[in-house]
Structure 1
Amino acid sequence: MLNLPRPTLEALESLDLPTPPGAALAFLQAVTRDDVSMAELAELVRREPALAARVLTVANSAAFQTRGELRSLLQCLQVLGVRTLHSIAASIAVREAFAGLPGARAGDFDGFWRHALMVAELAQAIAVATEQAEPEEAYLAGLLHDVGELLLLGGLPATYGPLLAEAGSTETALVPLERAALSTDHAAVGAWLVDRWQLPSFMADALLFHHHSPEDVALADPLTRALWVAHACDALAADAAPDAAAFESAGHLVGLPAMQLARLVGQAQADVATLASALGVKATTAPSPLPLWRPAPPAAPDLPRDKLRDTLSAMATLQPLQNELAAADSEPQLLNAARESARILFGVRDVVFLLRSGAEAVLSALSLPGQPPQLQRLQVNLQTAASGACGRAALAGRTCSTFESGPSGPLAVSDLQLARALGSEGLLCVPMAAGGVVLGVMACPVGRQQAERLEQRLALLGSFAGLLAGHLQQWRAQRERDRELEAATADRLRERERQVVHEVGNPLGIIKNYLTLVRRKLPEGVQLGEELQVLHEEIDRVARIVRQLGEPPPAVAPGGPAETLDLNSSVEGLRALYAEPLFGRAGIELVLELQQPLAATRADRDSLRQIVLNLWKNAAEALPPGARVTTSTADHIHRDGRLYTQLCIADNGPGLPGDVMVALFQPLGRTRREGHTGLGLSIVHGLVARLGGDIACQSLPGRGTRFFILLPQQPAPRPAAVASSPALPPVAP
C-alpha cells in the first residue's frame, strides 16, 4: 500500500468530495423510490466519480468487508442495501444544497467531470475492443483516475487551490507543482484511496501510472495501458488538430489501429455529451480537465442566519440516521449503523463507542464487526484523574480532544492505547448524552488537521451523538420493559403450573388406589401382576413429570447426573413393555443390538425412558408395516476429552425432508401434524442436554434415519493398589 506524506495523509482522512447537484438530486430521488432496482442505481453511480468513490469507500469498510470481494458497483450497492444508500444520498444532497452559500468552497468542476466521464467511457470501450475480462473495472478506473485532485482540494484547499490556479488547464503542469509543494501528486493520492479498498486488481496501479511516459507503461497490465491510452486520447481529442502519429502510438499500446481508436473516441464524446446534459453539467467551449479554483471573497458575518442555516442543515442531515437507528433491533446493530453513518457524514473511519454500564464509573467498548479485538478489554476508569480525553468528555459532557492545549499534561494511557489500536494520531471524543445523562463517549480516531476541521462542525457532531444516545436510551428502556413483562408472564405461568400440579395429583392418586384394589380382587391364577406393575410405574412417572412443572430444572454436574444405570437393562425392560403396543401391532420389527458388556451410564431412569419412548413413538408413527427399527448401544466413545456411552436408534424408512432437518429439535408450532404437540424431539434434545450429553441425527432420502445419543459414561473404578511382596532370596544351586 502507498505511503503518503504525513501532513497530506492527515488531511485526506476526511473524505469530502464535491458532487454535481444534478447527480446528487437524481441519486436521492431514485433511492427513495419503492420500485428502484439496484441496476438502475448502479447506472447513476457509475456516471459520477465522487459518488462512486463514496459508495466504494463505505462498501469496502470494516463493517462490510466480511461479505466477500466487491469488484463492481452493482455488488457494492447490493451489499450496502437501500437504507445505507439513502443515508449516502441524503448526506451528499444536503451538503451540495448548502455548498453554494457564502463562505462555501469555491470551484468549477464541470470540466473535471466531463474529463472523468470521457476517460471512463473510453477506457471501457478499449477494454471491450481488446477483450479484457472486466470492462466495468476499466470504467471505474477511468471514472476515478483523477479523484486524487478532489481529495487534495477537499483536504488541503488553502494549499492545493493555488496550485490548480497556477497550473491553469494543463494536467502536465500540475503534477510537478504537486510534487514540489506536497511531496506527492494526485495520481498517488488516488492510488492510495483505491489501495484502502483492498480490491484484488491493478486498479490502484492504473491510477498511479496514468501520468507516466508511454515507455513506462508499455509492458504494464492491460488495465493500466487501457487507462493510460484513454487519458491520452482525451487530451489529443481536445486539440484543434489532433496528432495522427500520437493516435497511432497510443493505439499501438493497446493493440488497436488508429482509425478504430479514433472512432471509439468519437463515440465516447457523443455518450459523454448526453450524460453531461442529464447531470446538469454546463457545456463549455474549452473545458479544463482540472477543477477551476476561484477563491470566494470573505462574506460579512451573519450569526443569526448562520445559526439557523446550521440548525436546518443538521436536521436535514440527521434525518436518514434517525430512520436507520429506528430500524435497529439490537444495541450492536444500533451502534454499527451509527458508525457507518459517521463515516458517511463526517469521513471518520472506525468510530469506537465507549459505553457506561449502569452506575459504574467505567467506560468500555462494545464488540462490533471489523473492530480491533483488543478494544473489548479496554476500560476507562472515570474515578481517576488520568482518564484522558475520553474521561473528560464523559464527566464534563463536552467534546474533548487529545490535541487540546492546557494543563491536562501528557496523554492518558487509555487514550494512547485506543489511538494505537485504531492507527490514528489522536482522538476526538464526543459525549453521548440524552435527558441530562451521559451514556458514553463517541471516540473518533483523527489526525490533528482532521480534528481541527471537525471542531468546526461540533454542533452537528453533538447532535449526531445526542440522537444516537436518545435511541440507545429508548432501546434500553424498551428492553427493560420487555424483561419486566417476561418476568411477570413467567410468574403467572409458574403459578398456573403449581395449580396444574395440585389438580392433577389428586386423580393420579385415586387411579393408583383403584389399581391396588383391582390387584387384590383378581381371582387366583390370573397373571396380570406385571401389567399392573407397569401401570403403577407409569403413573408414578407422570406424577414426577407433573411435579417438575412447578419446580426449576435441577442443575446437573458437568459429568452428568450422580445416578448411574445399566443402559442395556433399561432398553431391554422398555422393549418388554412397549414392543408390542408400539411396533408389533403396526407390523414393525424392533431389533436390539446391545454391546456386551457395557460400561455404566450416568443418567436418571425417568429421563432415559422419556428419551427412548419419544424416539420409538416417532418411528412407529412414521414407518410403514414391514419396516425395522434397530436400537443399539456402545461405550467408550471419546468426545472432547470425555467418555460417553452411545444409544443409537435407527430405522430403514423414507428419511426426513431437508426442511425438517433444518429445525429438527425445535418445537413445530403451527406446522405440527394434527393430534401431535410437535414437542417430542425438542423435549428429547432438552433432556439429553440436561444429562450432560449430546444428540445428533443423520437422515438420507430412501435410506432411513439414525439418532445418535451420547450420555456420560461412568468412569471405571481405579484398581486397588497391590502391596509388593518382598523379594525371595535366590535358591542355592
Structure 2
Amino acid sequence: MVAEALEQLMRGDVAQAEFTACVRCDPVLALRLQLQPVDFGTQQDLLRALLLAAPVASGAAQVAHAARWRQSLGVAHLAQALALRAGVADAEAAWIAGLAHNLADYLDTAPTPPAHAADWLIELDSDGWLADAVRYHAEPLVRGRAAHPLVRIVQLSYQLVTRADAVDSVDVRAALAALQLGAGEAAQLLGDSLEQTRQLAQRFGLVDALAHTIPPGLQPAVDRSPLGPTSGGGFERLARLYAAQAVQSALHSHFRQASGAGQVFTLLQDALRALFGIERACLFAPAGDGTLQMTQLIPAAAGLSALAIPPDDALSALPRALARNAPQQFKRFDPDAALVDGQIARLLDVSRFICQSLALSDGRTGVLVAGDALPGLGALPLWRFTLAECAEALMPLPLAMPAPAAPIQAAPAPSDDISRDRVRRAIHEVANPLTIMRNYVNLLSDRLGADSAVQRDLGIISDEIERVARIVRGITAVEENAPPAAALELVSVNSVVSELVRMSLGTLFAPNKVNVQIDLNPDVPPLPLQKDLLKQVLFNLAKNAVEAMHAGGHLKFTTRLVDVDGLRQVEIEVADTGPGLPAAVTSHLFEPVVSEKGGDHAGLGLTISRSLVERMSGHLNCTSTPQGTHFLIRLPTLQNSEAPLTTTRYGSM
C-alpha cells in the first residue's frame, strides 16, 4: 500500500484521486491525514515524508497485520453500506469509524499510546459520536439499542464481520430489524464487503497472508492473477522507491545551491557528468523567428550557433522532443535522421545523443541535448528526477542571459577550484542515495534466499554501486595532495571479463544486436592490480566496439598467456567485426584531440583507457582492418608498485 501510494504521489496531480483512494484504505495513514489535513497539490514533500516514515509489517508480523487490516476494511465497508442502506448515519463517518474500530491493535508500538484508541478521534467530531463508535464497538448489541445510530451501525458491522454465525443470531436480527433490514440483505452486504476486502488484499499484496486469517466458511476463491503483487514484490517495490526518493531528495538539495539560472546549468552539467558520465551537452531554445538555436547557458562548440532548426522538422530529434514532451534519441548514421542532427553530433564529438524538453525561467521551453547517452536513458527515473529538479530550480530565478560574446574558444575557462568545489558538493549528495541503494541490495539479498544466480547478480550490483562511489569520490581528489596509492588485490582476469559480459548483456550488447563470445584461458593466474581500473578499461573498449558496429555484429573477449621479451604476461583481446578504422584515425587513436566517434572507436575514452593500462604497468595497442578492430591489453604477471597487496578477493565469480 505504501509502495502504491508513493508511486501515485510521484505521478503528481493526475493521480490525486488514486492516491486518496489508496491511503483511505489504511487505518493509521487515513486518520493521520484526517487529523492533520495535507494539501496534495502544495505539500507533496510532507506527504512523501509521511509515507516513507510509515511502519511496514514484515515476516511473521505481516500475518498478524493482515488479520487486523482485513477486519478494519471489512467493518469499514460494511458500516458504510449499512449507513447508506438505512439512511440513519453519515456514510463517510461510518467508514472512518469502521476503519478505526480496532485502531488500538495498530498503536501497540506507539511512543505515547492514548488511554483508549478512541481518544485519537475526538478532534474529528465535536459531538464525540466517532469516538463513541470506536470505544463501544465490541459491546453487546443489547447495550446499544438506544445509542446514536453511528454507534449501533459499527457495533452491528463488527458482529457480522467477526462472528461466522452472526446473521442467524437473535441479537443481530433484532439490531437489523431496528434499521429496517432483513437477514438476507445483511448477508448480501456482508458478502460484498468481504469480496471488496479480497480485491484490495490482492491489489496490495496481502492475499497469501489473508488466506490464513479468514474463517474457512467465509474464504472466497483466491485469484492469484499476476496483476496482483505478492508480498515479496511489495518489499522489492518499496526498496526501489525508497532509493528513488532518496536520490530525488539528494538532487533537490543539489540544485537548491544555485543562486541564478547560470549556476543551475553549471550544477546540471555536474549532475550529468557524475550520474550518467555525460561530458558533452548543449541547450537549444526557440529564437525570435521560432527556430531552435543554441543558447550560451551551456557552453558548447561555437559552430553550433550557426544552426537554426525549424520547429516543424519532423526528422530532427530536437523538434520532436519539444512537440512530444518526451525524450528522443539520435544515433549517427541513422538513414532516416535529419542531417542537422548529425552535424550536432559531429560538433559535440559524440556518436549519439538524447534530447529532452526543459522549461526555462523566461517562460520558453528549450531542448537539452546530452551526448553519448546510453540507449533507454530517458526511461530511467534518475534521469527524470534530474531534469525535473533542474526545471524546478529554474522556475523562481530570473534568467541571466549572457551578452553575445566572442566564440566559445576565446571564452576563459572556468576555474578548476570552483568546478572542483561544485562537484564536491554534488558528490557529497550523490553518496547518500548510493549508500541507501547498497543497503537495499543487502536487504533484497537477505529476502531472496540462497539462490546462487540471484546472489551472484546482486553481488555484481553491489560491487558496481561501490565502484561508482569510489569513482565519484576520486573526482574531488586534489592533484597536489594526491591520496595514498590504492591497495592492490589479486584479481582473476577471467572473472572480470565474465562479470562485465554478464552485467552488460541486457543493457549494452543485446539492445544493439551484438553477439558476444568469450574464450578464457583457465591457466591465466590472478594478477595483483586494481580491479576497478581493469573493469573500466574493458567497459570502454566494449562500448566503443558496440558503437562501431552500427547494425550489430560480433564481439569476442579472449584471455591468454604469452611471453614477451622473456617476460610472462597476460594478454586480453577485445575484437569486433566493425568496419575498421581509417589509417588517419589509427595514427592518432589515443590522442584526445582527434576524436571522431561513430564509424570508429576513437575518443577520450581510449585516451583514458591507455593511461589506466599504463598505471597497471601494461600496454594497450590496436590493429584495425576493414574486417574489424582488435584491441590488445598486455599486463605483467608481477607489478612494480609501492601499493600494498591484499589477498582477500579474487573477483566476483
Q: Which has the higher contact order (CA 8 A, sep 6+)?
A: 1
Same fold (TM > 0.5):
no
Using the size of structure 2 for normalisation, the TM-score is 0.31
Q: Rg larger in 1 or in 2?
A: 1
Using the size of structure 1 for normalisation, the TM-score is 0.27
